Amino acid sequence: MATDNKEVAIRKRQQIDSSKKTMFIFVASAAFLAGIALVVSIFLVQQIVFHSKILLEKQNTISRLDKNLSSVDELKKNIRVLDTNTALNSIKSSSESNALQTVLDALPDNANADALGASLKNKFIDTTTGVTIQNLTVAQSGSDSESSESTSENAISFTMEVSGPAEKLKELLTKLEASIRVIDLKTVEIQRNEDRLSLVVRGVAYYEPAQTIQLENKVVKP
């Protein structure tokens, strides 16, 4: 009788141990599956946020392109209006040029000091009979302390010294004043040298750098 009770107790203990093992395995499996589900959920959320960023950037690009395309017709219209502008056509550098070229002549897109020096000599000094050039220097704005204090970033400073009769020097100044190119005379000095006058002009000519439009690639990080 005592042996039977002992066997029953052993079987119950074995059943309890087996139930504990089963419960442990179940809990461990559930925890493992829950961990996997959590990791997958975090990954999915990150992917959703990442793709949302990409879609937002694409939408911004599309909106910007649509806006630019809608401005093309208005830009073409403005160009046609400028091409028929009476004031621009009246000051064209040549009969073959169009009105828009006048704008480029007035405000070039680069700081070409050599071209400015050649223009001052060929179009102003050499075309004024009786005027003799004594000195002509052209320097990028900011290249020396004198010019950098009085000129803006997009400007080229120059110093021109010529001599000649008073009426011819006046004619030269009138030409500079009526120039298509945007020229600002900072100082004008006149000195008498025997029967001739010497004129020293210090000024600046302006330019506007060209604007470039290009497509860019933007990397969206997750």
Which pLDDT tens digit goes with each residue over 112-154? 888 889 989 998 999 999 999 999 999 865 444 444 444 467 8
From the list 64, 36, 100, the residue with the least C-alpha distance to 218 is 64
Let me know how long the chain is: 222
d(CA 129, CA 124): 10
pTM exceeds 0.85, yes or no? no
- Cβ-Cβ contacts under 8 Å for 54 (sequence gap 6 or more): 220
| Residue of higher predicted confidence among 19 and 139 | 139
**Could you give the percent of the chain with pLDDT greater than 70?**
83
The answer, yes or no, to whether residue 19 has pLDDT greater than 50, is yes
Average pLDDT, the chain: 80
Residue 59 host element (H or E):
helix 2-83
- Cβ-Cβ contacts under 8 Å for 129 (sequence gap 6 or more): 168
Residue 67 host element (H or E):
helix 2-83
Pairing label, strands 155-164, 183-193: unpaired
Q: Phi and psi (nearest 5°) for 139?
A: -140, 145
d(CA 206, CA 36): 68
Residue type at position 107: L
- Cβ-Cβ contacts under 8 Å for 117 (sequence gap 6 or more): 136, 138, 158
**Could you give the percent of the chain with pLDDT greater than 90?**
21
The pLDDT, as a whole number, for residue 149 is: 44
The pLDDT, as a whole number, for residue 143 is: 47
The pLDDT, as a whole number, for residue 178 is: 82
